Structure 1
Amino acid sequence: MTRAASLAPAIFGAGTLALLLGLWEYLGSGGGVALTSVLPPPSRFISSVAESGFRIGLGSQAAPLAQSIASTFFRVFAGMGIAFVAAIVTGALLSLSKVATWCLTPLLYVLAPIAPIAWIPTAIVVFGISNVTAVFIVFMGVYFILTIATLAEIRRLPEEFTTIAGNLGAGPVDRWFRVVLPAILPGVFTLLRTNFIAAWMAVLVAEMVGLRDGLGAIIMMGRNLFNNELIMFGMAIIGVSGFIVDRLLAMIATRVLWWRI
């Protein structure tokens, strides 16, 4: 593949985005009051936030934009990371113990359909309004799906792999770490990336329940102040940040877990 062909998707994607932003700016600058009040153009909502030095909030409670982005990133990565490790550990436990499988599998399938947002009241009662609440909501949003995916990946693994490893003298634990784990990691991580959007939405909703910083708190602040410029700015930052995280996860899948790509 030539360099031009490899760059074509990025060029066309950036061109389409630039066209839409340009059209939005044109309609916003020349449109009526109703349009600009509901959908202020990028130049308007960016300049509005820039006037405050990109600090979100009122008075001493205002938080820098960088802090809000970093807080959201920390919460979503912490929740997803803990869920990923916990899913792998649970999968190992269930694959090595039939009793654990009989006891825990029904529980997994009962709790998996519950939306992470439904856990917010319980999380607030248990943890209060804090970072732990947001991390917990993200964890609940992806843990059960990843655990079920881990079990599915283990079932898809050909029995010959573990049989040959056993014939070569590997015990159950060695077979798990040297054969099963490397085989299932790419598939589970791919599902983690697929469910990132759900985790992203969950942490944003969790941030709207009273946290002082975070991208979700920006949207809530704009709503409370009836400030559409702040709402649109928050939505734009959420979209760009989510895109960056998705690209980062794609890079990890390609560079680190390369053997199944």
Structure 2
Amino acid sequence: MSGDSVAGRLSAPRAGAWARLSPRSRAALARIGWGIASVGMFAGIWELLWAIGVADARLLPPPHIFLGNIPDQARFFNTAQRWQIGVDASAGPSPLGAVGITVAATSMRVFVGLGIAAVLSVTLGVLIRYFTLLEKLTLPTITLLSPVSPIAWLPVAIFMFGIGNAPAIFMVVIALFFHMVLSTISQIDGVNRNLINVARTMGASKRQVYGRVIIPAILPQMLIVLRLNLFASWMVVLIAESTGVGFGLGQVIMLARNTFNPSLVFFTIALIGLLGFLSDLVLRQLQRRLLYWVPEATGVLRGL
């Protein structure tokens, strides 16, 4: 038996298994494979720079160092007991439990703030275009406050809400609200006029035009805006947590900075990146479920 025939018999089941997968499953596996390759290439370049001495392990530890001992890094996440006088630093949950509590606290602030900002901004954006008087009273102020950095609102959040979850959630809301209101207005102005004219020709009232034509038309783009603002939410909540609103990933970053622990810094950065990626994946699946009538991107311009 020749070597070519043996190799053909071994590869045939693999090819058959791949062929039996649906196109969506093959596309998903391909995306996962390319994602692993992309992250692996980045980590490989980092490791190479460390191996040839370009990156100092004391300042820029490579992935095999800050990911090599996860339990040792996880013990620093026990921040809930850290500032209580007379409490042992080892008290409280286990290291992995502390990581779970910290991740859950930060994720809660991100998604609650994102949800509140989305509901308020889309509602106000629609009402501004629906009622002319409301537009004249609110749009100039919204445009005026939109360029203000979220960091400038941090003292306001502490003055209003003190220390706790509320100021962090407020920071997320205020960072997204004004931009999403302006984006909603822009999307409404960009709705195809032919759709509106057809609805009016069929006797639709202004309320029906907004409810049956305009809002469904802007939903796809608004969900894309929501996904983009998700990453901004993660950045803002870390700033808020670093001021000491409670235990969270931002406080762990500040602890790593104050103790000059680069391994903990990059371990937390990797964790934040993973959480952001998973959050975006959830929103993409939600977008596909809700907007079932919108075709998926085919990438027709890739070959140009």
TM-score by length of 2: 0.76
Which structure is richer in relative contact order (CA contacts within 8 A, separation 6 or more)?
Answer: 1
Instruction: Give the counterpart letter for 1:191 in structure 2.
Output: V
**Percent identity between the two aligned chains:** 35
TM-aligned CA deviation for residue 229 of structure 1: 1.8
Instruction: Give the counterpart letter for 1:235 in structure 2.
Output: I
User: C-alpha root-mean-square deviation of aligned residues, in Å?
Assistant: 2.7
Q: 1:86 to 1:224 in 2, by over 3 A?
A: same
**Which segments of structure 1 move beyond 6 Å, counting only runs of 4 or more?**
31-34
Q: Which runs of 5+ in 1 are unaligned?
A: none
The answer as to whether partners of 1:84 and 1:192 remain within 8 angstroms in 2 is: yes
- Higher mean alpha-carbon deviation, 250-259 vs 176-185, is at 250-259
- What residue in structure 2 maps to residue 225 of structure 1? 259
TM-aligned CA deviation for residue 65 of structure 1: 0.6
Please state if 1:196 is matched with 2:230: yes
- Tell me how far apart the structure 2 counterparts of residues 93 and 6 of structure 1 sit (CA, whole Å): 39
- What residue in structure 2 maps to residue 245 of structure 1? 279
- Tell me how far apart the structure 1 counterparts of residues 218 and 135 of structure 2 sit (CA, whole Å): 18
| Higher Cα radius of gyration | 2
Instruction: Give the counterpart letter for 2:186 in structure 1.
Output: A
- What residue in structure 2 maps to residue 38 of structure 1? 59
- Tell me how far apart the structure 2 counterparts of residues 168 and 228 of structure 1 sit (CA, whole Å): 65
Instruction: Give the counterpart letter for 1:147 in structure 2.
Output: V
Q: Relative to total residues, which structure has the larger helix share, 1 or 2?
A: 1
Of residues 26, 33, 40 in structure 2, which corresponds to 1:11? 33
Q: 1:34 to 1:20 in 2, by over 3 A?
A: closer
Please state if 1:20 is matched with 2:32: no
The answer as to whether partners of 1:142 and 1:192 remain within 8 angstroms in 2 is: no
TM-aligned CA deviation for residue 99 of structure 1: 0.9
Of residues 68, 75, 84 in structure 1, which corresponds to 2:118? 84
**Per-residue Cα deviation, 1:208-247 (whole angstroms, up to 9, x for no partner):** 1103322211101111222222111111111111111122
The answer as to whether partners of 1:84 and 1:146 remain within 8 angstroms in 2 is: yes
Q: 1:108 to 1:173 in 2, by over 3 A?
A: same
Instruction: Give the counterpart letter for 2:212 in structure 1.
Output: R
**Per-residue Cα deviation, 1:173-194 (whole angstroms, up to 9, x for no partner):** 3332222211111111111212
TM-aligned CA deviation for residue 52 of structure 1: 6.6
SS in structure 2 opposite 1:51? helix
The answer as to whether partners of 1:129 and 1:209 remain within 8 angstroms in 2 is: no
SS in structure 2 opposite 1:259? coil
- Tell me how far apart the structure 1 counterparts of residues 190 and 263 of structure 2 sit (CA, whole Å): 50
TM-aligned CA deviation for residue 6 of structure 1: 6.0
Q: 1:214 to 1:31 in 2, by over 3 A?
A: farther
- Higher mean alpha-carbon deviation, 178-187 vs 12-21, is at 12-21
Instruction: Give the counterpart letter for 1:125 in structure 2.
Output: F
The answer as to whether partners of 2:75 and 2:98 remain within 8 angstroms in 1 is: yes
Please state if 1:51 is matched with 2:51: no
- Tell me how far apart the structure 2 counterparts of residues 226 and 6 of structure 1 sit (CA, whole Å): 40
**Per-residue Cα deviation, 1:49-92 (whole angstroms, up to 9, x for no partner):** 40375551341477711111111111111111111111121122
- Tell me how far apart the structure 2 counterparts of residues 259 and 225 of structure 1 sit (CA, whole Å): 52
TM-aligned CA deviation for residue 17 of structure 1: 1.5
- Tell me how far apart the structure 2 counterparts of residues 223 and 188 of structure 1 sit (CA, whole Å): 37
Instruction: Give the counterpart letter for 1:121 in structure 2.
Output: P
The answer as to whether partners of 2:168 and 2:245 remain within 8 angstroms in 1 is: no
- What residue in structure 2 maps to residue 157 of structure 1? 191
- Tell me how far apart the structure 2 counterparts of residues 217 and 189 of structure 1 sit (CA, whole Å): 30
Please state if 1:123 is matched with 2:179: no
